[in-house]
Amino acid sequence: MARWDNPGVPHKGWTLVDYIDIREDAVDDDFEYETCEMCHNERIRYVHILTHPDYEGEIRVGCDCACKMTEDYVTHPEHERQMKNRAARRNNFLKKEWQKNSKGNWVLRYKGERITAIRRNGNYGFVYNNQWVWKYKGRQINDLQTLKLAAFEIFDIE
């Protein structure tokens, strides 16, 4: 039974807490879509997290349900558009070819900046603005794909 049919679940008056692209950390197409907790629509990639004063906890829904539940038909589609654009930029960034320089390091020019990546002691790092980055989301960078994700996070500015 969908929560739209449940009389104990409010239909209006919800507040947006956060919105996420559940594929953002996926390295390839190996990720699980979510199911909207309100209408049970499957394959939700862009999740809107809502709260309500008369409902315990949070609820994770798709864009259409978020619009109806918050009565905001502008913000949620805009958030989803921003997430889709970021995903496209990320995908394009990950496809870019890094070149090896004379020292054997990987180099990429992006948005007028030069990203230089090296491998040291089994881990990867890159330099930008004369500062080295050796971790991504609190963990050591141990492969080139994760290095590229970390570099994208640093350099992607909307």
What is residue 120's three-state secondary structure?
A: strand
Q: Strand locations in the chain, DSSP E?
A: 15-21, 46-52, 55-61, 99-100, 106-110, 113-120, 123-128, 131-133, 135-136, 139-140
| DSSP letter string, 10-26 | -SS--EEEEEEETTTT-
pLDDT in tens, 11-52: 999 999 999 999 886 655 667 889 999 999 888 999 999 999
Clarify whether residues 73 and 109 are in a common domain.
no
Q: What is the pLDDT of residue 6?
A: 83
The number of domains in the chain is 2
Q: What is the pLDDT of residue 154?
A: 85
Give the whole-angstrom CA distance, residue 149 versus residue 105.
17
Give the whole-angstrom CA distance, residue 59 versus residue 51.
6
Going by pLDDT thresholds of 50, 70 and 90, the confidence category of residue 135 is: very high
Clarify whether residues 54 and 78 are in a common domain.
yes
CA 64 remoteness from chain centre: 19
Q: Residue 48: which H helix or E strand, with range?
A: strand 46-52
pLDDT in tens, 111-120: 888 899 999 9
Clarify whether residues 71 and 23 are in a common domain.
yes
7 vs 61, higher pLDDT: 61
Cβ burial of 130 (10 Å; 0-12, 13-18, 19+) is: exposed
Give the whole-angstrom CA distance, residue 48 versus residue 18.
6
Clarify whether residues 17 and 89 are in a common domain.
yes
Clarify whether residues 12 and 27 are in a common domain.
yes
Contact call for residues 144 and 124 (beta carbons, < 8 A): yes
What residues make up the domain containing 33?
3-94
The reported pTM is: 0.78
Clarify whether residues 147 and 90 are in a common domain.
no
Cβ burial of 37 (10 Å; 0-12, 13-18, 19+) is: buried
Clarify whether residues 144 and 124 are in a common domain.
yes
